Structure 1
Amino acid sequence: MRLIGVAAAAVVLMAAFLSLSAVCCADTVQKAELSAVSGVVTAVDWVGDKIVVRTFHAGQADEISFIVPNDAVIVKGTSKIPFGDINIADKVTVQYYGDFGGLKAVHITVK
């Protein structure tokens, strides 16, 4: 009976270790795979926490939608600003990553 308890405790500890390492490694992969794009804001959805940025790359215009999570850092000059201060026609640079839910902004610089 005592051996079963020790084995169960070992399994619980291993599961905890694996879940913590998965969280740690996921964050590392996420930061390693950041992309950046610059352009002009063409739409802002303050309720849905989304922005659309029109970019120009190699002479071609494209519009990219980004989800802006609560933990995204948004700066204008040297000051942090809230998401609600982003407006249509603002020039921005967005650092982001993609996952199953879409493109998620990590850092937005408003110029």
Structure 2
Amino acid sequence: MRIPGNKRMSTQSSERGAAQPLLLGQRSSRAPGWNHRQELYAGMPVVGTSMPVQVVCPYCGNRIITVTSFVPGALTWLLCITLFLFGCVLGCCFLPFCIRSLMDVKHSCPVCQRELFYYHHL
């Protein structure tokens, strides 16, 4: 009776092995760096990176690498208000506006100058 049990174990392990390549294949087909939630913020899709991305511009149709610019976002303002409340009133509360890693990133097309994507930290 142990022989059929061993056969079941071997077929289950081969089924698990067969399922894993499908998951890996599905994961690799997704575009890297994209936030796959279909959310829009002010008409722009949300991108999951602050680095420039190579895309086809939907406005001018050119294949471009986006130009990034840093803009103050919710995290920047939240840190500024928190620093102000903890006593940094002599200008130190504006320090988050000087740190690029705390700011949101706007991706735009270098050809037509339109905003394409927006990356939020919060």
What TM-score do you get using the length of structure 2 for normalisation? 0.33
What TM-score do you get using the length of structure 1 for normalisation? 0.35
